[in-house]
Structure 1
Amino acid sequence: MNVNVSTYYCQTSIRKGAWRNMLYVPMTAVGLGMLTIIVLLTLVGPLIVHNDFTTVQMSERLQPSSWQYPLGTDHMGRCIFSRLVAGAQTTLGISGLVIISVTLIGVPLGLVSGYLGGRVDALLMRFVDGVGALPEFILAITICGFLGPNITNLMLAIVLVKWISYARVVRSIVLSEREKDYVLAARVGGCGTAIILWRHLMPQIISPVLVLATLNIGEIILIISSLSYLGLGAQPPAPEWGAMLNDGRPYFQTMPQLMIYPGLAIMLVVISCNLIGDGLRDILDVRSQ
C-alpha cells in the first residue's frame, strides 16, 4: 500500500481512538465538567428560582443574598440569579449560532478555494487578506454600530469577521492534502469534485475545525459581552452578561457583586471552553499519537 494512503487510514483510526479517550485527559475532563455544570444550572435554574428576570421592583433594589434572591437583586430590584440564568441562555445561544454560521460559511469556501486553486483561490484569498488586515474587534464594532444595536446585528457583525479564520485553516489543510495519493486515486477512479471534497477531504478537516470552533467559543463570548457592555448588543430589559456588567458599573464600590457575578460567569465559560479546546487539540494531533 502506498505510504500516503496508509497514512490516511492510520490518521483516521487514531482520531477514532482519540475520541474514546477524550474523558481521560484531565484538561478536557475539567473543561467538560465546568461547562456541563453551567449548562445544567442554565436549564435547571428557572425551576429552582421562580423570580421574573424582567420585573422591576424598586422596593427590593440592591438586596443582599436571601432564600428568595440567592444572589441578591440589582439596582432595579430584579433577581440577579434569574438574570444570570437567562443571560446564559442568551450568551451561549448566540455564541452557538455564531459558531454554526461561521463554520457553514468558512468551511465550504476554504474547501473550494484550496481544491480548485487558480483564480478562484486568488480572488478569495485577496478578499480574505484585505478583511483580515483589520482588527476583528474594531471591525465588529464598526459593523454593529453601522447596522444598529441589537442581538441580530451583533450576531451578523461577529459572523462577518470570524469566518475568515475558518476559511484560512481549511484552505491550508486542503492545499496539503489535495496532492496526496488517495486524492489522486479518487480522481483516477472517476470521482467528481463534490465526492472528493465531501468523502475524502472533509474527514481531514473535521478535527482542526472542531478544535478551532471550541477555542473560538470563548473568544466569541468575550466579543459578545464586550459589545453588549458598550451598548451595541442586547438592549434592556433583555439579560446578557456583558449588559449586566455595564448595568452594575455605577454600583461597583457599593455593590460589587453586580459586576462580580456576571464577570465570574463569563470567566468560567471562557476557561472551560479553552480547556476543552486545548485538550481536543492535544488529543486529535496525529503527530503526538
Structure 2
Amino acid sequence: MNVNVSTVFRQSPIRRNTWRSMLRDPMTALGTGILAIIILLTLIGPFIVPNDSLAVKMSERLQSPSWQYPLGTDHLGRCIFSRLVAGAKTTLGISAFVIISVTLIGIPVGLLSGYVGGRVDALLMRLVDGVGALPEFILAIAISGFLGPSLTNLMLSIVLVKWIGYARVVRSIVLSEREKEYVLAARVAGCSTWTVLWRHLLPQIISPVVVLAALDIGKIILIISALSYLGLGAQPSAPEWGAMLNDGRPYFQTVPELMIYPGVAIMLVVVSCNLISDGLRHILDVRSR
C-alpha cells in the first residue's frame, strides 16, 4: 500500500495554526525571533564580516572594539566578531546534524520496539538501557576521548548518546497507542505493519518529538561547547564558540570579553531554544495527546 508523506503531516497535531499560536505568545515569539536573527547572521555572515576569521595579526592582538574590529581582537589578533559569526555556522550546523541523526535513529527504534514487542523489544531496550547507564555528558567525553579530538568524532559521540532519549519517548507513546481502537481497526482492515506504523502511529509521536528536539538543541550546543572547551571538539584556529571560550580562558582576568562574547552567544541560542520548546509544549499539549 502506497503511503504519501504529506498524509503523516496532515494527520499530525502540528498544523499551520500551531505556528500562529507560537507567535502570539510573547516569550515564544521572543525565542523564535532571537534564533531567526542568529540563523540569518549565520547565512549572510560571509558577506558581512569585516575580516577573515582565521587571519592572524600579532601586531593587532587584544585590540579594543573599533570600526575595523567591532568586538575587538583576540590574543592572536583575529577579529572576534568575524569568528563569532563563522563559529555560529559550525556550532549550529553540528547541532542540526546531531538532531537529524538522533531522530532518524531513535524514531525507528522506538516504533519497532514498542509495536512489535516481545524479544525485539527486550533486545532493543537492553541496548538502550546499557548505553544509557552513564550520564550523557560523561559518556560523550569518554567516546570523544577514545575516538580522538575532531569535529567528526564530536558529532559521532553526541549522536551515540542522544538517540536513547528519543527511542524511549517514542516507545512509550507507541505502547500506549497500539492497543487503541483505531490501531486495532487498521489491523482488522488488513493494513500491514509498515502501514500501521507510518500512517497511524507516526503522526502521534511527531508532537512530542518536535518538542524534545527543540529542547535538545540547547543541550546539544552546551555539550558541543563543553567538549570543545575541553579540547575534544574543534581544534585550534577553527572558529567554534566552545573553542573560543577555551582560547579566552588564560586571559579572563585581563580581557574577559574573550570569554564573555562566545558565552553570551551560546546563552542566547540555548535560551531561545528553551523558549521555543516551552511554547511548543504548551500549544501542542503533548501530555493530553
The TM-score, its normalising length taken from structure 1, stands at 0.93
Task: Please give the alpha-carbon distance, in whole angstroms, between the structure 1 residues aligned to 2:115 and 2:288.
Answer: 27
Could you tell me whether the CA contact under 8 Å between 2:87 and 2:239 is conserved in 1? Answer: yes
Task: Report the counterpart of residue 181 of structure 2 in structure 1.
Answer: 181
| Amino acid of the structure 2 residue aligned with 1:80 | I
SS in 2 for 1:122: helix
Q: Tell whether 2:252 aligns with 1:269.
A: no
Could you tell me whether the CA contact under 8 Å between 1:282 and 1:288 is conserved in 2? Answer: no
| Amino acid of the structure 1 residue aligned with 2:252 | F
Could you tell me whether the CA contact under 8 Å between 2:111 and 2:171 is conserved in 1? Answer: yes
Q: CA deviation at 1:134?
A: 0.5
Task: Please give the alpha-carbon distance, in whole angstroms, between the structure 2 residues aligned to 1:47 and 1:282.
Answer: 38
Q: CA deviation at 1:84?
A: 0.3
Can you give the 5+ residue segments of structure 1 that lack an aligned partner in the other structure? Answer: 1-10
The Cα offsets for residues 28-55 of structure 1, whole Å up to 9 and x where unpaired, read as 1111011011112222333223300111
Task: Report the counterpart of residue 97 of structure 1 in structure 2.
Answer: 97
Q: 1:31 to 1:145 in 2, by over 3 A?
A: same
| Amino acid of the structure 2 residue aligned with 1:252 | F
| Amino acid of the structure 2 residue aligned with 1:81 | F
Q: CA deviation at 1:129?
A: 1.2
Correspondence 1:47-126 to 2 at 5 A: 47-126=47-126
Q: 1:63 to 1:286 in 2, by over 3 A?
A: closer
Task: Please give the alpha-carbon distance, in whole angstroms, between the structure 2 residues aligned to 1:13 and 1:115.
Answer: 19
Q: 1:159 to 1:13 in 2, by over 3 A?
A: closer
Task: Report the counterpart of residue 227 of structure 2 in structure 1.
Answer: 227
Could you tell me whether the CA contact under 8 Å between 2:59 and 2:77 is conserved in 1? Answer: yes
Q: CA deviation at 1:214?
A: 0.3
Q: CA deviation at 1:14?
A: 5.9
Q: CA deviation at 1:21?
A: 1.9
Task: Report the counterpart of residue 285 of structure 1 in structure 2.
Answer: 285
Task: Report the counterpart of residue 18 of structure 1 in structure 2.
Answer: 18
Q: Which moved more, 1:103-112 or 1:16-25?
A: 16-25
Could you tell me whether the CA contact under 8 Å between 1:64 and 1:72 is conserved in 2? Answer: yes
The TM-score, its normalising length taken from structure 2, stands at 0.93
Q: For this pair of structures, how many residues does the alignment match?
A: 279
Task: Report the counterpart of residue 138 of structure 2 in structure 1.
Answer: 138
SS in 2 for 1:77: coil
The Cα offsets for residues 161-209 of structure 1, whole Å up to 9 and x where unpaired, read as 0000000000000000000000001001110000000000010000000
Can you give the 5+ residue segments of structure 2 that lack an aligned partner in the other structure? Answer: 1-9
Q: CA deviation at 1:25?
A: 1.7
Task: Report the counterpart of residue 32 of structure 1 in structure 2.
Answer: 32
